[in-house]
Structure 1
Amino acid sequence: MSDACCAGAPTSRAHLNSTIASVGEAITPANHVGDQSQSATADLLVVGRIATGDPEAPTAEAMAVSGGRIIGIGSFADVDGLTGPGTRTVAPDGVVIPGLIEPHAHIWVSLLTLDWTDVSHVVCPRFDDVVAALKLAAAKTQPGQYVLAKLFDPSLYPGEPPLTRDILDRVSTDRPVVVLNASMHFAYGNSAALEAAGISDRTPEPTGGVLQKIDGRLTGAVGEAPAVSLLLANLPRPDAADIGNGIRQILTEFASQGVTSMREGMTGTIAGVSEIAMLHQLNGAQRLPVRVSTAQFSTLAGHTTPADVAAAWKAAGVTPFSGDEMVRADAWKLVADGSNQGRSGYFSQPYLGENTGGHANWTPESLREVMRAGLDDGWQLMIHTNGDAAVEFALQAAEELLPGTATGLRHRFEHASVTTDDQLARMAAAGISPSFLMDHVYYWGAAFRDTILGPERAARLDRVASAYRAGLRPSLHSDYNVTKVQPLHSAKTAVLRRLEADGTVLGPDECATPEQALAAITTHAAWQIHADDRGALRVGMRADFAVVDADPWTSDPAGWDGITVHETYIDGTAAFSS
């Protein structure tokens, strides 16, 4: 089995593929830095309050930059002699901090729903609020046009209320209404949406998909990509300008949270090599507001084996660390299991109230085949593992395959949501680091504890402190758009582990120190995406930084999510301004 079944990509592919593919597959890095050379004289001097993120020298009052890199930082005396007549001086109104690193987010699969109505639990804390938001959106939509909403998650409401066609028919009868589950594994439609998609009570279920029925009548809920794609088949398609604007909108949102580098977590799933070509074209036309590291997906349409997929990437010139300083290919992505809150994550014990613990998306043999295809070409492995059984499944394969392969690739387990002490120790021994979707704890912790996993397993969710104790270098990520890109909110959650639902602390032994949490969104996250020249402000590093209104290294973690970002800079030049 391939991991395409759990990517949520076929829905997006149907709507975005032809437009993205129209840009072609020619990859032309812009190389904005080009031949810009570093000299002994700064072209930029930054003065003011500087929090370096370097524990050896945590603060500074001046930073000298030449050719996009830091050539001096410290007191005014430390940079004396590094300036000249051509040096430009900036004195930001706020605290200068290292640019934050988002090590796992999704640009492409987020484009489909970018402008859809947000009915997440954050925006709609009660189920009645979801229905009210949909009614408001319908009132603003012309008859016959789609009402589209995203990020609905029944697991966050008491009793996990179903969103049925009958409920959605009360939202509108003359406008198709479609709501996408936060996991993208499920969707919900009213009668008009089912009719527009040509789905009736007699429609056969597509292979691998579910058209939910009760007593032979469609409920409006559909499951898994083939059925979700069927429901969304007639949505309007965006043009290339829309997609380009959407990418910039997403990356600008990241920059507004202090992010200067991000990892795109599943590149190629919609339009293959054309996705990278489009990123380079956009960056060539105007520098992107955030650096993009790409993780090449191990399953591509039209290619039947992992070796074929690897060959296709290589033939297009997409090889490890190819690209430029703004768009670079870095990893090989595969997905071992599904979503914990959707009960498709792979666990060694059943979910509460069920008799199964999910399942793996691969056989042991096929998992090794797809991992080997990436390793043979020198890629960093980036493996989605949610349940403890998925971690074990992938870890056993890694322990078998990694010895004798290229070292220093910093292989990663994504989410590693529920782990054991033994697994963390073995990850460290194998050279695998975890990246935690930290706000799983904040938003879903109570649901995991009370209705999905139970208290014991929920307490082992996102074990940042234990990862550090095992000698690992963990990072924190958003998995955007599963959660919003808010690195400082994620870091706050890592320290406090307080639940949104009731304010209790989930797994207090797993509370990270403030220093550990901040390293996980700066230096460790940068290290995981092979960006050792970012994440801290010291001599030799890139001048990627943000200007904020409070220093997270000296302020109370409880207030980190309230810190405002005023500006971000890449290579010492402005990338975002509020």
Structure 2
Amino acid sequence: MPHHHHHDHNHHLGCACCGHLPKLANSDAAAQDLLGEIEQVLRKTFPQQSQQAVIFHGGPIHTMEAPASRRVEAVGIGGGVIVAAGTLQEVRAQMDRARHHVTEHHLNGHTLLPGLIDPHVHILGSALNKAWHNVSPFRGNSEKDAEISQTLNANYSIELLAGWIQSTLNEPDGKSLLKDKDGQTIWFIGYGVDPSLMTAWGNIDKTWLDDLHHGQVEGLNLAILLINASGHLAYANSAAISRIGSTSSTGVLTELDVTQAMNIVAASTTTQEQIPQGIAQVLRNAAQRGITTLFDPSMGVNDSRNCADNLELSALSLTAELGPLRLAGSLFASKNQNLDSWLCDESHWQLDLNNPPASRFSIKGIKMIYDGSNQGLTGYQKEEYDCFANPRIPPIPAVPEVPPTGKSNYEGHTGSEAFPAMLKRVLDQGWPALIHANGDRAMSDVLDSYQQAMTAPDGAIDAAKAKLLRLRVEHASLMDDAALDRMAALQLNPSFLIGHVGYWGYVFQNTIFGQSKAEMLDRCKSALDKGMRVSLHSDHFVSPLGPLRMAEQAIYRKQEGAPGKDKPILNAEETLSPEQALRAVTLDAAWHCHLDHQVGSLEPGKQADLVILEHDPMTETALPLRDIKVIATWLSGAPVRIER
């Protein structure tokens, strides 16, 4: 059977969802140095503040509790937790009874909410990118804008991409390029390139890249490597192909070659050394967007040589301890060998569903990836992608080694390595599962597998267990009514990458899928109506961090990639109310992550994780939610401070 697509992480990085991560260090000594460096950078960037006893009042305060959020006059915090929420008089009395020496904080009309949560991001993959060039559709027109844009660049095109690369190559001394330790090569590495969001679908290959620049730079061979936003693909010029030892004739790299390229780049340039600064940048960006909790579903992609030693997890746990927000996550598995590591009793990293109230880092499940990315044309479909079945002019380039239906990462796996068998093993050990599924065929296969794994010998579905484990389907992009009904019956919960509607909706509808199939994207309202709990996520680095932006895209479902000022709506029946959308980035996101005992709403006893916003996102404002200014975040009752 062909071996090219097996999510085998010893040599392969898979899609963005795996956290696309080369090795972080090449030796144990380098690993210790990296952790020391991360600690130093985080202590400097986020000086820890002491907890305060405060009564907040003087602006809208939304508790986001279930079943309905209350708007209260005041909230009191002390000892790191929420002490009271209610009228100012009640809160003052309760703070008094709790013997807190209180200061009062007048909100001046600003809005107080529980800290925002992104339940699916790739922290180290995003940090790694910071050493490279942003060539994504979320880059503004200057390199400064690159970090912060939550808006598509309307001029994103293959010509604009060429211009960005040229302007970097024209800098004096090649200052933004990365020198290779081989002494012969200098690298331009770009991340986030997305042909699907270009004004005309870009066909990037070796010929195009070679034409961008002839001759050497600073007396060195110029290697150009662009990594596709899906993480499944990369594009290389002749010098890069030769440096990584690839046999690709087209310069379009898949699977093994992408891994090989990234491992070489990480080890032979200063990429690894820039990771601590990259982590600080990701955390700063998250805090500035109002986030107090991040969930990384693909922790431990590399280095699981044995149970107790995983550099990625050590780095993430240190990041949570010293950063401006708390972290939880799940452990990545592509085959039984990974499960052997994670599920063994000696593992240093144990499941912790009821983590202590003040803890900053916890492990909540196992993540598996069933297929690829719909916008990358690798999500697994029941029928051929419309852009292949009804070819466009000019034609959309197919992905090398992937059929026109996309494909499963478990094709040809049998016995205990088959997907349903692995999933059953996870659930039988009492671990929650988070399964990535994008295509409609992937959705139905994953639902079949969940059903099989949850069916007892007597044929009954163990729904109580499902409820307890809060089983997730990540992205759950395409669902017809039958899939929604099955999900509800199996007590599964969807976490939607809502940018599929906001950012990619137009290209899905007009190019990739056609009208009727695009209507099945991210059916948030239907999922809620059927009794499921829904969360919204960024899958950062795939789309920008910003829970308010995600809520906005769920409330309005505008196709931001459409030309012109007035953006069409994608399936208006699936829009959410502001409260529903905000709950999907607060309490229900916390519930999905088994953190709702700790965070997600302003209720007494929970951690005092707060965000203060300039305007109230619960009211239908004239302002897009993503443009509401974040005034401050608080973590466990202490204000977050960020040093420049």
Shorter-chain TM-score bucket reads: 0.7 to 0.9
> How many Å apart are 1:22 and its aligned residue?
2.2
1:544 alignment partner in structure 2 = 609
| Alpha-carbon separation, structure 2, partners of 1:253 and 1:567 | 13
1:280 alignment partner in structure 2 = 317
In the alignment, structure 1 residue 422 sits paired with structure 2 residue 482: yes
Show the 5 A alignment for 1:22-33.
22-23=31-32
> How many Å apart are 1:507 and its aligned residue?
1.4
One-letter identity of the residue aligned with 2:373: S
- CA 1:198/1:364 → structure 2, altered by over 3 Å: closer, same or farther? closer
2:332 alignment partner in structure 1 = 297
- CA 1:91/1:109 → structure 2, altered by over 3 Å: closer, same or farther? same
- CA 1:545/1:499 → structure 2, altered by over 3 Å: closer, same or farther? same
Root-mean-square deviation over aligned CA pairs: 2.9
Number of aligned positions between the proteins: 544
1:491 alignment partner in structure 2 = 551
> How many Å apart are 1:126 and its aligned residue?
2.5
> How many Å apart are 1:348 and its aligned residue?
1.1
> How many Å apart are 1:577 and its aligned residue?
5.4
- CA 1:225/1:388 → structure 2, altered by over 3 Å: closer, same or farther? same
1:137 is paired with a residue of what secondary structure?
A: helix
Q: What is the aligned counterpart of 1:463 among 520, 523, 526? A: 523
| Alpha-carbon separation, structure 1, partners of 2:320 and 2:337 | 32
Q: What is the aligned counterpart of 1:191 among 227, 230, 238? A: 238
| Kept after mapping to 2: 8 A contact 1:306/1:369 | no
2:146 alignment partner in structure 1 = none
| Alpha-carbon separation, structure 2, partners of 1:536 and 1:138 | 49
Q: What is the aligned counterpart of 2:57 among 42, 47, 55? A: 47
> How many Å apart are 1:3 and its aligned residue?
6.5
> How many Å apart are 1:249 and its aligned residue?
2.0
- CA 1:11/1:484 → structure 2, altered by over 3 Å: closer, same or farther? closer
Q: Per-residue displacement from partner, 1:259-304 (whole Å, max 9, x unpaired)?
A: 11111020000233322222233444xx32111111101137xxx5
In the alignment, structure 1 residue 449 sits paired with structure 2 residue 509: yes
One-letter identity of the residue aligned with 2:381: F
| Kept after mapping to 1: 8 A contact 2:119/2:537 | yes
> How many Å apart are 1:195 and its aligned residue?
3.3
Show the 5 A alignment for 1:70-109.
70-81=82-93, 82-83=95-96, 86-92=101-107, 94-109=110-125
| Kept after mapping to 2: 8 A contact 1:146/1:176 | yes
Q: Per-residue displacement from partner, 1:40-96 (whole Å, max 9, x unpaired)?
A: xx8332233123224756323321112211111122111132235732433345322
2:468 is paired with a residue of what secondary structure?
A: coil
One-letter identity of the residue aligned with 1:328: S
2:437 alignment partner in structure 1 = 385
> What 5-or-longer segments of structure 1 have no aligned partner?
31-37, 204-210, 212-217
Q: What is the aligned counterpart of 2:407 among 354, 359, 384? A: 359
1:34 alignment partner in structure 2 = none
| Kept after mapping to 2: 8 A contact 1:25/1:277 | no
| Alpha-carbon separation, structure 2, partners of 1:314 and 1:507 | 49
> What 5-or-longer segments of structure 2 have no aligned partner?
1-5, 40-50, 140-152, 178-184, 217-221, 305-309, 390-403, 455-460
2:458 alignment partner in structure 1 = none
One-letter identity of the residue aligned with 2:251: G
2:568 alignment partner in structure 1 = 504
1:114 alignment partner in structure 2 = 130
1:13 alignment partner in structure 2 = 22
1:157 alignment partner in structure 2 = 198
- CA 1:85/1:346 → structure 2, altered by over 3 Å: closer, same or farther? closer
One-letter identity of the residue aligned with 2:122: H
> How many Å apart are 1:135 and its aligned residue?
1.0
**Higher mean C-alpha deviation, range 224-233 or range 132-141:** 224-233
**Higher mean C-alpha deviation, range 341-350 or range 50-59:** 50-59
One-letter identity of the residue aligned with 2:365: A
Show the 5 A alignment for 1:139-288.
139-140=170-171, 141-142=174-175, 144-173=185-214, 174=216, 175-199=222-246, 203=247, 211=248, 218-230=249-261, 233-235=264-266, 236-238=268-270, 242-272=274-304, 273-284=310-321, 287-288=322-323
- CA 1:24/1:348 → structure 2, altered by over 3 Å: closer, same or farther? farther
2:370 alignment partner in structure 1 = 336
**Higher mean C-alpha deviation, range 70-79 or range 404-413:** 404-413
> How many Å apart are 1:162 and its aligned residue?
1.2
**Higher mean C-alpha deviation, range 482-491 or range 305-314:** 305-314
> How many Å apart are 1:380 and its aligned residue?
1.1
**Higher mean C-alpha deviation, range 357-366 or range 99-108:** 357-366
Q: Per-residue displacement from partner, 1:185-238 (whole Å, max 9, x unpaired)?
A: 111122332333344xxx3xxxxxxx2xxxxxx332212243452476245455
| Alpha-carbon separation, structure 1, partners of 2:192 and 2:263 | 16
In the alignment, structure 1 residue 60 sits paired with structure 2 residue 125: no
**Higher mean C-alpha deviation, range 518-527 or range 358-367:** 358-367
| Kept after mapping to 2: 8 A contact 1:19/1:238 | no
- CA 1:11/1:278 → structure 2, altered by over 3 Å: closer, same or farther? closer
| Alpha-carbon separation, structure 1, partners of 2:604 and 2:610 | 14
2:315 is paired with a residue of what secondary structure?
A: helix
> How many Å apart are 1:549 and its aligned residue?
0.6
| Kept after mapping to 1: 8 A contact 2:21/2:302 | yes
Q: Per-residue displacement from partner, 1:143-201 (whole Å, max 9, x unpaired)?
A: 853112111111122542212333323433422221111111111122332333344xx
| Alpha-carbon separation, structure 2, partners of 1:18 and 1:299 | 24
One-letter identity of the residue aligned with 1:381: A
**Higher mean C-alpha deviation, range 531-540 or range 220-229:** 220-229
In the alignment, structure 1 residue 438 sits paired with structure 2 residue 502: no
One-letter identity of the residue aligned with 2:500: H
2:112 is paired with a residue of what secondary structure?
A: strand
**Higher mean C-alpha deviation, range 128-137 or range 397-406:** 397-406
- CA 1:420/1:15 → structure 2, altered by over 3 Å: closer, same or farther? same
| Kept after mapping to 2: 8 A contact 1:464/1:512 | yes
TM norm structure 2:
0.78
2:503 is paired with a residue of what secondary structure?
A: helix
> How many Å apart are 1:307 and its aligned residue?
4.3
- CA 1:465/1:407 → structure 2, altered by over 3 Å: closer, same or farther? closer
| Alpha-carbon separation, structure 1, partners of 2:33 and 2:445 | 37
| Alpha-carbon separation, structure 1, partners of 2:470 and 2:63 | 24
